[in-house]
Amino acid sequence: MKNIKEDEKLSILNHSCAHLLAQAVKHLYPHALFWVGPVIEDGFYYDVDLGDDVIKEGDLEKIEKEMKKISKDGKRIYREEISKTEALERFKNDPYKIDLIERMDEDSTVISCYTQGDFTDLCRGPHVDTVKELKYFKLTKFSGAYYKGDSKNKMLQRIYGVCFTNEEDLNEYLNELEEAKIRDHRKIGKDLNIFTSHDLVGKGMPLWLPNGAIIRKELENYIYKKEQKIGYNHVYTPCVGTTNLYKTSGHWDHYKENMFPAMKVDEEEFVLRPMNCPHHMLVYANELHSYRDLPIRIGEFATDFRYEASGAVKGLERVRCMCQNDAHLFVTPEQIGDEFKKVVSLILDVYKDFGLKNYKFRLSLRDKEDKEKYFDDDDMWNMAEDKLRSVLDEYGCKYYEAIGEAAFYGPKLDVEVKPAVGPEVTLSTCQLDFLLPRRFNLSYIDKDGTKKTPVVIHRAIFGTFDRFTAFLLEETKGILPLWLSPTQVNIIPVNNEYHSEYATKIFEILKEEGIRTSIDLKDEKLSYKMRESQTKKIPYTLILGDKEKENNLISYRIFGSKETITLDTKEFLSKIKNEIENKK
C-alpha cells in the first residue's frame, strides 16, 4: 500500500483535499470549527468541532456529494501571507485557529492562508492550483479525537479521506483497504476468540484467550525445539529490575522515556523491564568462563513492558506488554562470523517453515566519518561488518546497506517482510554489541590466560510472539495450518440420536492421540453446524453417519472444500498425525 505522506505529489493533493473536505463540511454545518487537517500515510483527516451535531455513517456520502459539487465549480486556490495581528483579527471567532496563531513567532514565522471560493483556511501549504484537480477522492471513515490528543480536552470528530490523481489508482487503493479490513488481525482475533482487551486491565495490555494461548504455546514449542537443537540454554528472569540495573546498562539515560514509571519498594526502586539484555548479562556473570565455554547462548520467552502512546496501541501488533522470543549470544571476536551465520540460518529455516518469501535484509552499518556517534574500535567494526556481509553473500540473501544506521555499540541486521497488505514490517533482528559486556565487566579467560571481554549478539527470530501472531493472522486471514489451529478437528454427527455415540467414540480416540478436537452435539440442522465449523475456520470437519458408524470409517471435509473424503479410522489418524508432525 502506497505511503501517501512520502509521495510529494500525492501529499500535496491530499492536503488540498483536506481543505475541500473542510469547505464542504462548512457548507453543510455552518457552525463547524476546525482544528488540524494533516496528510497521513493513508490519506488525510480533518478534526472538526460540530457542536451538538454528530457524524453518522450516511453523512460521509452527503459530505462527499458536496465536495464533488465544489470540485466541479473549479475555483482557483490562492495563497496569501499575513501578519500575526492580521491573522488574529481574521480568525477571531475561531478558538482553534487562535490557539495555533498565538503560538507562532511574530518575527520569524510566515503566516499563510489559502482561499478557495467562500472558504479560507490557515495553512502552510503548498496546494494544487484549483479545486478542479481534486476529482478522485473517497471519505473512508470517521472517529472521535480529543483536542490536542489530550483526554482532558473536548472530543472532536475526525473525518478521514484519501485522494488520487486518477480513478484507477483510487479504486486499487480502496480495494486494498477492503482487503486490509478482511485481514485485520483485530477482527480475526475477535471472531476466532484469540485475544481481547479490557479498559480495567489497560490499553495495550491484551488478554490471550484459550484459543490464542494455544497458538502462542505452539509457537513457543516450535522455536524452543529449534533453539535447543543448536545449543541454546533457556532461562527465566524477573520482569522487573532496579533502576540501578538500567543505569549500569545505559538504558536509563537513553530509554527512560519508553519505560513505565519507577516503583519504590522498601529501599529499592524498580521498573518494569523494557528489555532482557541486562538480566542476561548477569546470568552470564553468575560463573567464571573460559574461551572453551564460548559461545554461550542464553534464550528466554520474556515478558517486557514498554510505554506506547494510547493512540498508537493496536491489537497484538503494538502493545505495552509483550513476550519476546529473545536470546543473547556471548562470543569471542573470532566467533562472530560463525554465530551470525547460525542466526541467519535459523531465520531462513523458520521463514521456510512458515512459507515467507517476500522479504529482504537491512544491514545497518556505521558511518566511518562520524567519530563521535560510534563506539571507538575501528578494527572491531571493520571485522564485524565484513563478517556480516560475507555471511549474507554466502547465503545469497537479498540485502541492502544502511550507512549510518547502526547503533552506537555495533552493526545490526533487520529482516523486513512484505505482508499481504500494508507497509513492510520488521520481524527478525540480530545486533552485535561491543559495549554492554564492558558496562557489566563481563569476561572470559582466553587461551593465553588473560581476561578478555566477550562480544554479545542480541537476536530475536519471531520478534515478539504478539506481533508475529498478528502478522500470521493477517497473512492467513485466520486460516492457520493444522499444527497451529486451536481446534484441529470438529466432529459433527449427522443425527444426534443415532450417531452421537460413534461420534463421541471418535472424539475420545482423537483426544487420546493429542489432537485438539471438538464435537458438536447441538440440536441444530447439519447444514447449520457445517457452516459454523467453516466460520470458525477449523481445518478438518468430520461428518459421521450410518455408513461411518457401521464400517468404522471417517468422512471429512477440509476447510474451504466441498469435497467429502472417506477413510478408515486408522488411516485418517495416521494422515492427520503425520500432517501435524511435519507442520504442513
Could you report the per-residue pLDDT of 98-111, keeping only the tens digit for each? 988 888 876 656 78
C-alpha cell at 558: 477440509
Output the pLDDT for position 410.
Answer: 85
Could you report the per-residue pLDDT of 413-426, keeping only the tens digit for each? 999 998 888 778 89
What positions carry a catalytic annotation?
Answer: 277, 306, 324, 326, 328, 412, 458
Output the pLDDT for position 554.
Answer: 95
Residue 405, CA distances (Å) to 3, 31, 328 in order? 22, 49, 21
Output the pLDDT for position 540.
Answer: 97
Look at residues 356, 336, 339 and name the one whose alpha carbon lies nearest to residue 415: 356
Burial 55-77 (b: 16+ CB within 10 A, else e): beeebbeebbebbeebbeeebeb
Residue type, 155: M
Residue pointed to by grid coordinates 489432537: 515
Helix crossing, 569-581 with 496-512: angle to 10°? 40
Q: Is the pLDDT reported for residue 347 higher than 90? A: yes
Count of Cβ atoms closer than 10 Å to residue 95 Cβ: 12
Output the pLDDT for position 383.
Answer: 85
Chain mean position to CA 51:
36
Q: How large is the average pLDDT for residues 342-363?
A: 93
Which segment of 34-38, 381-385, 472-476 scores lowest on mean pLDDT?
381-385
Q: Hey, what's the torsion of the CAs at 201, 205, 206, 208, to 10 degrees? A: -80
Could you report the per-residue pLDDT of 465-512, keeping only the tens digit for each? 999 999 999 999 999 999 999 999 999 999 988 999 999 999 999 999
Angle at the Cα of 336 (from 278 to 334), degrees rounded to 5?
A: 115
CA atoms in the 13 A half-sphere facing the CB of 260: 19
Q: Is the pLDDT reported for residue 113 higher than 70? A: yes
pTM of the model: 0.84
Domains of the chain (ranges; CATH) run 4-170 (3.30.980.10), 195-237+276-476 (3.30.930.10), 240-273 (no CATH), 489-581 (3.40.50.800)
Output the pLDDT for position 336.
Answer: 92
Strand partners, 414: 362, 429
Which segment of 65-79, 365-379, 479-493 scores lowest on mean pLDDT?
365-379
Output the pLDDT for position 167.
Answer: 93
Q: Is the pLDDT reported for residue 580 higher than 70? A: yes
Look at residues 39, 127, 29 and name the one whose alpha carbon lies nearest to residue 75: 127
C-alpha cell at 583: 507442520
Output the pLDDT for position 518.
Answer: 96
Q: Are strands 136-146 and 412-417 parallel, antiparallel or unpaired?
A: unpaired
Output the pLDDT for position 382.
Answer: 86
Output the pLDDT for position 107.
Answer: 64
pLDDT band at 533 (very low <50, low <70, confident <90, very high): very high
Which segment of 86-100, 216-230, 285-299, 549-563 scores lowest on mean pLDDT?
86-100
Positive or negative, the Cα torsion across 178, 181, 184, 187? negative
Look at residues 513, 339, 351 and name the one whose alpha carbon lies nearest to residue 427: 351
Q: Is 150 exposed, middle or buried (CB count within 10 Å of its CB: 0-12, 13-18, 19+)?
A: exposed
C-alpha cell at 126: 503548498
Could you report the per-residue pLDDT of 41-70, keeping only the tens digit for each? 889 999 999 988 889 888 999 999 999 999
Output the pLDDT for position 1.
Answer: 62
For residues 153 and 217, give the distance between their C-alpha atoms in angstroms, rounded to a whole number: 42
- Cβ atoms of residues 469 and 215 within 8 Å: yes
Output the pLDDT for position 407.
Answer: 80
Q: How large is the average pLDDT for residues 316-324?
A: 93
pLDDT band at 583 (very low <50, low <70, confident <90, very high): confident
Could you report the per-residue pLDDT of 157-185, keeping only the tens digit for each? 999 999 999 999 999 999 988 888 899 99
Max Cα distance, the chain (Å): 92
Output the pLDDT for position 367.
Answer: 85
pLDDT band at 387 (very low <50, low <70, confident <90, very high): confident
Could you report the per-residue pLDDT of 197-222, keeping only the tens digit for each? 999 999 999 999 999 999 999 999 99
Q: Is the pLDDT reported for residue 584 higher than 80? A: no
| Mean pLDDT, rounded, of the chain | 92
Could you report the per-residue pLDDT of 253-274, keeping only the tens digit for each? 888 888 999 999 998 999 999 9
Q: How large is the average pLDDT for residues 520-549?
A: 94
